[in-house]
């Protein structure tokens, strides 16, 4: 099967995976202080950006979903001439119009794609499906990576659809807020009130870093708050190790960090998670968070994606 998996740039997928597998990225537009920023997955560029001070509490920053025309043009130019199947996966439709725009593009692009493939003497029909992953960042990336694993082993569209419809409801994404005051301001810009101003100021002053849980199209909610970013991330590593011991639905854990991923290796419980993963033959992937993904949580933010069999367990 000749296929392409199309994701938006919120998805947390390590750059080496993107470059070696049949992924296409539909960029989310990010405007920072009046300038349109290139939404890149190049890890060195992103690390340099996060280690600077371009994105801070005073920044005027916004992001916008790719339009129906943007999506149609990407598919017509970069996917339909080379693949017979386009498997589109988007960030949760609760936070973005991306899924709806993909659906609109899919409903209107048939004749355009058929004309392109006719000119190229391609007889095989072009098929396209869209999945709302119901999650974001590392959770969204985990679903896309597992989809590629499934398709590369010969799964057909029916098996893919059945598996994805089940998996999206089982994946948990745990972002860690790097700066609670920054995140509050970004939320207000989107019409979302997370915490009160006094609570945000106090939280920033004493160094609180909430761990948020995102499940399928549910409103994100804090499940644990610790002092210090390494401490909060370390608690997630410990939670991941415990979930591996209890069993995972897919043999993957996906990490996304708005900074240099090598820093994660110095945090508490990282070695515990990695040794537990090795014992149970679980692959742990690490990548740099995209600019579009980090806008809400800020430089230094982190997210972990996992599909635990114990769906009720929370970091503690």
Lowest mean pLDDT among 24-33, 181-190, 226-235: 181-190
Token pair recorded at residue 150? 């499934």
CA distance 77 to 72: 9
CA distance 282 to 29: 34
Whether residue 16 is found in the same domain as residue 156: yes
Q: How many CB atoms lie within 10 A of CB 207?
A: 14
| pLDDT confidence bin for 201, thresholds 50/70/90 | low
Whether residue 71 is found in the same domain as residue 187: no
Question: Does residue 37 lie within any of the structural domains?
Answer: yes
Question: Does residue 316 lie within any of the structural domains?
Answer: no
How many domains in the chain? 2
Whether residue 24 is found in the same domain as residue 134: yes
Structural domain including 17 reads 3-167
Whether residue 118 is found in the same domain as residue 45: yes
Alpha-carbon distances, residue 191 vs 55, 95, 101, 187 (angstroms): 20, 11, 21, 6
pLDDT for the residue 198: 60
pLDDT for the residue 188: 56
Q: What is the mean pLDDT of residues 119-145?
A: 96
Q: Are 262 and 286 in contact (CB under 8 A)?
A: no
Token pair recorded at residue 293? 């993904």
Going 111 to 144 to 186 to 197, the CA torsion angle's sign is positive
Question: Does residue 57 lie within any of the structural domains?
Answer: yes
Question: Does residue 81 lie within any of the structural domains?
Answer: yes
- pLDDT of 106 over the 60 cut: yes
Lowest mean pLDDT among 53-57, 146-150, 289-293: 53-57
Question: Does residue 312 lie within any of the structural domains?
Answer: no
Q: What is the mean pLDDT of residues 88-96?
A: 93
Whether residue 301 is found in the same domain as residue 162: no
Q: Which of 134, 167, 200 is the last residue of a domain?
A: 167
* Residue in 264, 184, 277, 255 with CA at minimum distance from that of residue 229: 264
Whether residue 47 is found in the same domain as residue 134: yes
| pLDDT confidence bin for 193, thresholds 50/70/90 | low
pLDDT for the residue 299: 87
Whether residue 152 is found in the same domain as residue 192: no
Strands 61-64 and 252-257: unpaired
| pLDDT confidence bin for 12, thresholds 50/70/90 | very high
């Amino acid at each position: 099967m000749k296929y392409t998996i199309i994701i938006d740039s919120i998805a947390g997928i390590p750059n080496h995976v993107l470059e070696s597998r049949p992924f296409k990225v539909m960029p989310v537009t990010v405007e920072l202080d009046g300038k349109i920023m290139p939404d890149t997955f190049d890890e060195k560029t992103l690390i340099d950006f996060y280690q600077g001070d371009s994105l801070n509490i005073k920044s005027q920053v916004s992001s916008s979903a790719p339009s129906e025309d943007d999506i149609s043009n990407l598919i017509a130019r970069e996917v339909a001439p080379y693949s017979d199947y386009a498997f589109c996966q988007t960030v949760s439709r609760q936070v973005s119009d991306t899924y709806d725009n993909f659906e609109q593009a899919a409903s209107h692009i048939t004749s355009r794609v058929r004309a392109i493939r006719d000119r190229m003497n391609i007889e095989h029909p072009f098929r396209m499906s869209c999945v709302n992953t119901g999650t974001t960042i590392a959770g969204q990336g985990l679903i896309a990576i597992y989809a590629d694993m499934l398709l590369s082993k010969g799964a057909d569209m029916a098996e893919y659809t059945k598996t994805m419809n089940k998996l999206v409801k089982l994946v948990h994404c745990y972002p860690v807020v790097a700066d609670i005051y920054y995140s509050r301001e970004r939320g207000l810009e989107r019409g979302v009130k997370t915490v009160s101003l006094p609570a945000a100021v106090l939280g920033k002053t004493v160094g609180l870093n909430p761990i948020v849980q995102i499940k399928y199209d549910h409103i994100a909610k804090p499940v644990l708050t610790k002092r210090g970013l390494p401490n909060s991330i370390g608690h997630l590593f410990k939670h991941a190790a415990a979930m591996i011991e209890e069993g995972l639905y897919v043999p993957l854990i996906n990490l996304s960090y708005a900074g240099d991923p090598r820093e994660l290796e110095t945090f508490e419980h990282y070695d515990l998670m990695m040794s537990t993963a090795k014992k149970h033959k679980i692959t742990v992937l690490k990548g740099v968070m995209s600019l579009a993904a980090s806008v809400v949580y800020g430089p230094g933010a982190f997210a972990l994606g996992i599909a635990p069999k114990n769906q009720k367990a929370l970091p503690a």
